[in-house]
Copies of this chain bind each other. A is one copy, B any other.
Amino acid sequence: MLYFENDYSEGAHEKVLARLVETNMEQLSGYGMDPYSESAKEKIRRACDCPEADIYFLAGGTQTNQCVISSMLNPYEGVIAAESGHIGTHEAGAIENSGHKVITLPQENGKLSAETLADYLSSFYGDENHEHMVYPGMVYISHPTEYGTLYTKGELAELSDVCSEYGIPLYLDGARLGYGIAAKETDVTLPDVAEYCDVFYIGGTKVGALCGEAVVFTKENTPLHFVTRIKQRGALLAKGRLTGIQFDALFTEGLYFEISRNAIKTADRLKDIFREKGYEFYLDSPTNQIFIVLENSQMERLREKVIFSFWEKKDDTHTVVRFATSWATKMEDVENLAALL
């Protein structure tokens, strides 16, 4: 069976795992107060070219979104997201569970445009009744988006400008940030993300770690008592070493970027294969997720030998499916898939 279902089907990158093993019996302070966590933070600060960044490690993406968003919003505020945004669709209502509305705006290829955002904000404050409405208190984007698409540097700058104008933070969900940065077409670097975003996270779960996301507050804007808020949401690991050591390994000698490139390289090859064989692309994604339209009987045949994801029904006889590569994908498996197609 070939496995292109998602980007979290293996454990950790071998170098990450090796560090866990090597340090295993060291006696370390809990709750992230260990030297590996500190070292990881320093390495991330350097990679972000943001010496003042304040960094926290959490276990997973939904948890991170919930902790960050609920800590940065005032109780009367909601978070703006594209209508395809993960927080509004596939996080089981985690944001609403924390008391806040996800205010959805139209998207294009998974992206929220600065223009759409500006129009909404201008219209909100122009409405005489806005005192009876949920105030927009933050903008959430993901990069790559749910569709694997990417913002350009210019687009991030524009979104950042609109946010600044209205005094609300821009938050970037980087569950797959490594793959975004490794994409060939992108002009966005990690320092760019740190510059344009008020807060973002660098995803580990989908990029080489067993678990873990690194939240980066870039503007000396960490919510007061953020550790207590993390604890209060049940998200503070007693053995903070688990995430600290993994991120320390990921940000040693550029490992995070290097392994991200493997996902891009294998995805690009796979896209070439689909293209050569005349498959229909649902949309054009420059990262590790490939959305293909399959005729249903063809899909069923392929499923006997390959695991991929159902995305959505296209029409009565066609389905959109997703093939994902990752840091762990072997080129050999891509070629095996080519042979099958």
Residue contact A99 to B97, C-beta cutoff 8 Å: yes
Tell me whether A336 is interfacial, beta carbon within 8 Å. no
A233-B10 contact given A205-B239, A238-B206, CB 8 Å threshold: no
Q: Of B23, B30, B92, which contacts A76 at CB under 8 A?
A: B92
Task: List the B residue with the shortest CB-CB distance to A63.
Answer: B234
Residues in chain B near residue A78, CB distance under 8 A: 93, 96
Give min CB distance, A295 to chain B, whole Å: 19
Give min CB distance, A80 to chain B, whole Å: 13
A232-B8 contact given A17-B24, A101-B96, CB 8 Å threshold: no
Residue contact A239 to B20, C-beta cutoff 8 Å: no
Residues in chain B near residue A232, CB distance under 8 A: 75-76, 91-94, 97
Q: Per DSSP, are chain A's interface residues mostly helix, strand or loop, or mixed? A: loop
Residue contact A242 to B96, C-beta cutoff 8 Å: no
Tell me whether A339 is interfacial, beta carbon within 8 Å. no
Q: Please classify how large the interface on chain A is, using the bins under 10, 10 to 19, 20 to 34, 35 or more.
A: 35 or more
Question: Which of the 9-residue segments A44-52, A124-132, A263-271, A285-293 touches chain B?
Answer: A124-132
Q: Roughly how many angstroms separate A66 CA and B232 CA in the complex, as a whole number?
A: 9
Task: List the B residue with the shortest CB-CB distance to A209.
Answer: B239
Question: Which of the 9-residue segments A147-155, A190-198, A220-228, A275-283 touches chain B?
Answer: A220-228
Tell me whether A237 is interfacial, beta carbon within 8 Å. yes
A239-B225 contact given A99-B96, A233-B94, CB 8 Å threshold: no
Chain A interfacial positions (CB closer than 8 Å to B) = 3, 5-6, 8-12, 14, 17, 20-21, 23-30, 59-67, 70-71, 74-76, 78, 89-94, 96-102, 128-129, 131-135, 205-206, 210-211, 224-225, 227-229, 231-239, 241-242, 310, 328
Can you report 19 A-B residue pairs in the complex whose CB atoms are below 8 A from each other? A8-B30, A11-B20, A12-B24, A17-B20, A17-B24, A25-B328, A59-B59, A75-B97, A76-B92, A78-B93, A89-B133, A90-B132, A91-B232, A94-B233, A94-B234, A131-B227, A131-B231, A132-B231, A211-B211
